[in-house]
Amino acid sequence: MSILITGGAGYIGSHTCVELLKANYDIVVYDNYSNSQPESLARVKELAGKDFPIYEGDIRDTKRLAEVFNVEKIDAVIHFAGLKAVGESCVKPLEYYDNNIGGTVKLLQIMRNAGCKRIVFSSSATVYGSENEVPFNENMKVGGTTNPYGTTKLYIETILKDLYSSDNTWSISILRYFNPIGAHESGRIGENPNGIPNNLMPFIAQVAVGKRPVLSVFGNDYETKDGTGVRDYIHVVDLADGHVKAVTRLLTKTGLDIYNLGTGIGYSVLDIVKTFEKVNNIEIPIQIAPRRAGDIAVCYADAQKAKVELGWTAQRNLDDMCRDTWNWQKNNPDGY
Ligand code: NAD
Ligand code: UD1
């Protein structure tokens, strides 16, 4: 079985490629390297000890993408390609709508024309908005996203639902990720953000390696145990394994299913800092800063549906996530 991975050179994509190859899937990667480097895929090949075809291209380039479906036999697609920076999406909404929504529509059209109707889509817990009570489950109302990035995820979910209503021979799996962190235990692949990291763990890693002097903690007056924001952090290799389970299920059934991929456990910003310090024996200086616009106090998953239907649960704990992040960062201080 051969799986096309759009955005396969990126953070989650590269880890998923390794796990798919380990599970004996054939893969084909399609990426425009707008937020990644070819080196990540060279390392995927090294880790898996296997070769696979790579196409440099944009999902909006229909000619190029159609060519891939002509040349390769594709049984299903895992669709990671997209832009993901919340702040940037507020400055460049049209680029986000074009790349994420426009790109996905083009991909779906080409898949339909090629008769390939199985797709796993990277969605986000951000679609739960700020009105729901934790833990978030898949039956809750979605909406109320606070930035164009989040809105692209919400709209793409809607597009996929409309597509399935129009043609129920599709197999669609929407995966709502909580907060992926960590890296492959080898330290060979990991998250490689451009510029100043927006997200907590990459920022901590850059403080640890001496690139940034201090971590700003965005708010200590939330209604949480220590006042700092609480999130459901999930090891990226567990997340990758969730994709293997989701795509395996897609190959044997039609339907549209939505799954949370999280651990179901919430940790505060200070929990993360303290655990990183303990596991890696490094001090992380912090300063308390104002709340960040658009943040919610608490976000964690009800992860039961993925457990029951996909047979998937996260295996790695917060110590593993902090250890593997640091192993990647210290071995690759400047990324790839
Ligand atoms: P990433 O930026 O590391 O990977 C995305 C990849 O897609 C990159 O390699 C990039 O070059 C490629 N890409 C972007 N636009 C493209 C296009 N038009 N054509 C071809 N390739 C293109 O991001 P990631 O963290 O690996 O995230 C993967 C997916 O998961 C994204 O869709 C993201 O929105 C979603 N997601 C990520 C998180 C997270 O915290 N990392 C959380 C929820 C959802
Ligand atoms: C953010 C995005 C979300 C996206 C997710 C994964 C926002 C508002 N939300 O979620 O849409 O799906 O990333 O990419 O950006 N924090 C600090 N200091 C920092 C960075 C973060 O204190 O320097 C805090 C935040 O306030 C939050 C927690 O750490 O409480 C986690 O933040 P982050 O890693 O950015 O993830 P989310 O905000 O959950």
* Predicted local distance difference test score (pLDDT) of residue 255: 98
Whether omega for the bond prior to residue 53 falls within 30 degrees of 0, making it cis, is no
Rounded distance, CA 14 to CA 45, Å?
10
Q: Is 128 tagged catalytic?
A: no
Rounded distance, CA 187 to CA 122, Å?
24
- Residues of the chain above pLDDT 90, percent: 100
pLDDT band per the 50, 70, 90 thresholds, residue 276: very high
* Predicted local distance difference test score (pLDDT) of residue 2: 97
**pLDDT tens digits, one per residue of 182-231:** 999 999 999 999 899 999 999 999 999 999 999 999 999 999 999 999 99
CA dihedral (187, 189, 193, 194) in degrees, to 10, reads 110
* Predicted local distance difference test score (pLDDT) of residue 328: 98
Task: Specify the ligand 1 atom closest to the Cα of 81.
Answer: 7
Q: Report how far ligand 1's centroid is from the alpha carbon of 309 (Å).
A: 26
Q: Cβ(305)–Cβ(259) under 8 Å?
A: yes
Q: Report how far ligand 1's centroid is from the alpha carbon of 83 (Å).
A: 6
**pLDDT tens digits, one per residue of 312-330:** 999 999 999 999 999 999 9
**pLDDT tens digits, one per residue of 70-113:** 999 999 999 999 999 999 999 999 999 999 999 999 999 999 99
Q: Where are the alpha helices (DSSP H) in the chain?
A: 11-22, 38-48, 62-71, 86-91, 93-96, 103-114, 148-166, 200-208, 236-250, 269-280, 304-305, 318-331
Could you tell me if the CB of 126 is within 6 A of ligand 2? yes
Could you tell me if the CB of 272 is within 6 A of ligand 2? no
Q: Report how far ligand 1's centroid is from the alpha carbon of 225 (Å).
A: 32
**pLDDT tens digits, one per residue of 221-240:** 999 999 999 999 999 999 99
**pLDDT tens digits, one per residue of 230-270:** 999 999 999 999 999 999 999 999 999 999 999 999 999 99
* Predicted local distance difference test score (pLDDT) of residue 258: 98
Nearest CA to ligand 1 atom 19: 58
Cα-based angle 261, 263, 269 (whole degrees, multiple of 5):
110
Helix (H) or strand (E) holding 335: none
* Predicted local distance difference test score (pLDDT) of residue 74: 98
Q: Which residues pair with 259 in a beta bridge?
A: 175
* Predicted local distance difference test score (pLDDT) of residue 139: 98
Q: Report how far ligand 1's centroid is from the alpha carbon of 220 (Å).
A: 30
Nearest CA to ligand 1 atom 6: 7
User: Which residue among 30, 96, 149, 222 is the active-site one?
Assistant: 149
Rounded distance, CA 21 to CA 243, Å?
12
Nearest CA to ligand 1 atom 9: 10
Could you tell me if the CB of 86 is within 6 A of ligand 2? yes
Q: Cβ(260)–Cβ(306) under 8 Å?
A: yes
The pairing of strands 2-6 and 26-31 is: parallel
Rounded distance, CA 206 to CA 284, Å?
10
Rounded distance, CA 95 to CA 277, Å?
38
